[in-house]
Chains A and B, each alone.
Chain A
Amino acid sequence: MENFTPVEALIGGAMIGLGALILLVFYGRIAGISGITSSALFTREGRSWRLAFLAGIVAGPLLVAAIITDYSYSTPQLSWQVIVAGLLVGVGTGWGSGCTSGHGICGVSRLSPRSITATVLFMLSGMLVATLLS
């Protein structure tokens, strides 16, 4: 467990929860990043708040890098694996109505049976694929 970063994980997680809560309190909406992004792209109604939310998502790491000067993170190489993964994540969150934020955080907090089921399934499926490929 040499890569374990509990302090950053807890602080970062609390910020994710707080951001999601702001969307609920001000707009009455679930902070599902897959749903908000795909609706911003494919439906006209409610586009402006969704695009504002997305702008915040894109700006986040720039703000962190401006405050923490030696901040950096890795990104994947361009490969067929990354493209197949992106397709699976898109189709899967589309059919499954949510991802780690909408189901995993908002839905599980609301004790939604659908979200709890989806979260267990995508965690198990993700662990299976990552472990088999390693």
Chain B
Amino acid sequence: MPIIFAFIAGLLMSVGIAYSHMIDPNKVLGFLTLNTNWDPSLILVMAAALAVYSCGYWLFIGKGKPVFAQSFSLPTKTTLDKPLLIGALLFGAGWGLAGYCPGPALAALSSGSHGTLAFIIAMITGWFISRKLAI
């Protein structure tokens, strides 16, 4: 399976994160912090991403299979269980605390910032804990 298109996919997403300034925690906190200086930019990033992805998804999904795979590997779960609800709330709390979600933090790795690096190491530790400790 050629992996070059996975690189291009990651690159495009990251260029989008960087160009929209969502890579900047202060920009994201400007959206999450509700005050007179509120910055709605993040809503437009999400809206544009949703518009492009949903059009492509609904056009493509009924037609055959992926180029390099026998079938789609899509989540099939539909129940709103405890790990989903608690996990989303905890993730949001961390997001509001630092202004980083996983994509922008990983994209900022090349900045060499110690704060970014510490966030990434802590996030990886968190993933490890979530895999070992089921709720």
Answer yes or no: do A and B interact.
Answer: yes
DSSP majority for the A interface?
helix
Chain A interfacial residues counted at CB < 8 A: 108
Segment 29-81 of B: residues with Cβ below 8 Å from A: 29-30, 32-35, 37-54, 56-57, 60, 65-69, 71-75, 77-80
Report A18 CB to chain B, min CB distance, Å: 6
- Assess the B130–A91 pair: CB atoms within 8 A: yes
A69 near B: Cβ within 8 Å? no
Minimum CB distance partner of B82 in chain A: A95
Q: Which residues of B contact A (CB under 8 A)?
A: 1, 3-27, 29-30, 32-35, 37-54, 56-57, 60, 65-69, 71-75, 77-80, 83-103, 105-111, 113-116, 118-131, 135
Q: Which residues of A contact B (CB under 8 A)?
A: 1-6, 8-31, 33-34, 37-38, 41-42, 48-64, 71, 73-79, 81-97, 99-101, 103-110, 112-114, 117-119, 121-131, 133-134
Shortest 4 CB-CB distances between A and B: which pairs? A90-B126, A60-B14, A96-B87, A94-B130
